[in-house]
């Protein structure tokens, strides 16, 4: 099995602040990146225990969240901003067999979701796909699903794990913190979070061999509604070929192919 790992920073144990930990110029950003990378490395150890030797890690956090110097030797890193076009990356991801997510947060508006947001916390109120509220977990799971990869593992706070479990029943999760609000959480100790991730990743791979999860797909056609905080953000879609303006702050993107709209 070949494993593709998507990463984010807000769902890592010990990460509770956008300004100081998640922004590139934050005082503790470098420290937060080391925490994420150590969680990714724990996942890699869980993979090695299951004899996985082809591992690609995406540096998925907006401004970059991976600490290259400390990356596990068994993993390769897909990184750099701006990222290469989706079509090019999808051709590479397609070669992998299963997907995982490390460090994920819940969708915008989830009351116990630490640092909850969808894509851009200063722009997006919410996304709805075919009428159902979705966040970044569904975006990842459905785009991986369209490429033939099931999402078999996710780590993050309890709210992110719950969101993943309702989306993809049977997924194995590792909750490394319990968020009490958007900016306050009870985190496991770093070493405890890492051993939980390592064990759950091994379990997910073992289970995938005996009781495989199927790639996640929803029936089309697809309508993605994006609601913004500001009208000018919706203005930006006025000439988009797949977009219709719903109201002053909302646009709807429509396609039979989920990959056309899920990150548009
Ligand atoms: Zn995110």
CA of 61 to the centre of ligand 1 (A): 6
Residue 132 is predicted with a pLDDT of 97
CA of 87 to the centre of ligand 1 (A): 20
Residue 262 is predicted with a pLDDT of 96
The pair of structure tokens assigned to 139 is 């975006």
CA of 159 to the centre of ligand 1 (A): 13
Measure the N-to-C terminal CA separation of the chain; round to a whole number of Å: 30
CA of 32 to the centre of ligand 1 (A): 14
The pair of structure tokens assigned to 197 is 């991730």
Residue at 38 is within a domain = yes
CA of 242 to the centre of ligand 1 (A): 24
Beta carbons within 8 Å of 77's beta carbon, 6+ residues apart: 57, 59, 66, 68, 71
Dist CA 225 CA 213 (whole Å)? 28
Counting the structural domains of the chain, the total is: 2
CA of 115 to the centre of ligand 1 (A): 9
CA of 138 to the centre of ligand 1 (A): 12
Residue at 115 is within a domain = no
The domain of 236 spans: 222-261
CA of 100 to the centre of ligand 1 (A): 14
Mean pLDDT of 9-38: 98
Residue 77 is predicted with a pLDDT of 98
CA of 99 to the centre of ligand 1 (A): 16
Q: Chain centroid to CA 125: how far?
A: 18
Residue 251 is predicted with a pLDDT of 98
- Is 244 found in the same domain as 182? no
CA of 80 to the centre of ligand 1 (A): 16
Q: Three-class SS of residue 190?
A: helix
**Portion of the chain with pLDDT greater than 70, in percent:** 100
* CA-based nearest residue to 185, from 7, 18, 2: 18
Residue 206 is predicted with a pLDDT of 98
Residue 130 is predicted with a pLDDT of 98
CATH of the domain at 63: 3.40.50.10780
- Is 206 found in the same domain as 230? no
pLDDT-derived band of residue 230, with 50, 70 and 90 as boundaries? Answer: very high
- Is 254 found in the same domain as 152? no
Residue 180 is predicted with a pLDDT of 98
Residue 173 is predicted with a pLDDT of 98
pLDDT tens digit sequence for 117-163: 999 989 999 999 999 999 999 999 999 999 999 999 999 999 999 99
CA of 199 to the centre of ligand 1 (A): 24
Residue at 116 is within a domain = no
pLDDT tens digit sequence for 71-104: 999 999 999 999 999 999 999 999 999 999 999 9
CA of 208 to the centre of ligand 1 (A): 26
Separation in Å, CA 93 to CA 66, 119, 210: 18, 20, 23
pLDDT-derived band of residue 221, with 50, 70 and 90 as boundaries? Answer: very high
């Amino acid at each position: 099995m070949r494993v593709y790992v998507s990463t984010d920073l807000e769902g890592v144990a010990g990460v509770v602040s956008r300004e100081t930990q998640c922004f590139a110029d934050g005082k503790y950003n470098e420290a937060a990146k080391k925490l994420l990378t150590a969680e990714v490395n724990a996942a890699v150890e869980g993979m090695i225990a299951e004899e996985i030797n082809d591992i690609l890690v995406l540096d998925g956090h907006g401004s970059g969240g991976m600490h290259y110097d400390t990356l596990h030797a068994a993993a390769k890193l897909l990184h750099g901003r701006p990222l290469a076009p989706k079509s090019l990356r999808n051709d590479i991801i397609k070669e992998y067999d299963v997907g995982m997510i490390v460090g994920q947060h819940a969708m915008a508006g989830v009351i116990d979701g630490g640092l909850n947001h969808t894509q851009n916390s200063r722009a997006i109120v919410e996304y709805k796909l075919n009428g159902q509220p979705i966040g970044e977990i569904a975006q990842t799971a459905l785009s991986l699903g369209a490429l033939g990869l099931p999402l078999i593992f996710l780590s993050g706070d309890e709210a992110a794990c719950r969101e993943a479990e309702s989306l993809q029943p049977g997924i194995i999760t590792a909750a490394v913190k319990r968020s009490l609000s958007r900016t306050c959480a009870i985190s496991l100790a770093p070493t405890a979070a890492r051993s939980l991730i390592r064990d759950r990743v091994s379990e997910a791979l073992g289970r995938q061999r005996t009781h495989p999860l199927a790639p996640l797909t929803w029936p089309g056609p697809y309508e993605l509604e994006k609601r913004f905080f500001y009208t000018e953000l919706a203005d930006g879609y006025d000439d988009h070929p797949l977009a219709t303006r719903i109201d002053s702050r909302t646009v709807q993107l429509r396609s039979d192919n989920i990959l056309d709209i899920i990150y548009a």
